[in-house]
Structure 1
């Protein structure tokens, strides 16, 4: 019974537009939170300049969940 339901769910096909829509629904909030996180935690990048600063900022946007967890564990 459970295996049949699982196969039915896994065999469901999505169109490309639906996959793009799901990506946007998940990606926009993730990037928005990352942007807020990176904008409010700016104590580290003061010593960086140029490309290093840009890469650090983009990296902190992409990895905000890890940084959030590390920040909670450090305090």
Structure 2
């Protein structure tokens, strides 16, 4: 088992490959987050300025947690 793990962990990956993987995995995550944040804006109505921007960006990043809490609260 450890030899298989060493073989897997022994692969060398370039920075470009890591960046491509992050782009491929991050794009759908952020698109879903933007969609979620634009359809659930009730908590943003009384905010303005930096508070609005930080809260909107935070909801884009944390959409899985917000989705789970929204489902459990109903």
Whether TM exceeds 0.5 here: the answer is yes
> Residue 3 of structure 1: CA displacement?
1.6
CA distance in 2, matches of 1:11, 1:32: 33
Write out the 4+ residue segments of structure 1 that deviate beyond 2 Å after TM superposition.
none
Say which SS state the counterpart of residue 44 (structure 1) adopts. Answer: helix
User: Which residue of structure 1 lines up, in the alignment, with residue 10 of structure 2?
Assistant: 11
Q: How many pairs were matched up?
A: 74
Unaligned 5+ segments in structure 1 are none
User: Which residue of structure 1 lines up, in the alignment, with residue 28 of structure 2?
Assistant: 29
Following superposition of structure 1 onto structure 2, how do residues 46-61 of structure 1 map, counting pairs within 5 Å?
Answer: 46-61=45-60
> Residue 20 of structure 1: CA displacement?
0.3
TM-score by length of 2: 0.96
TM-score by length of 1: 0.95
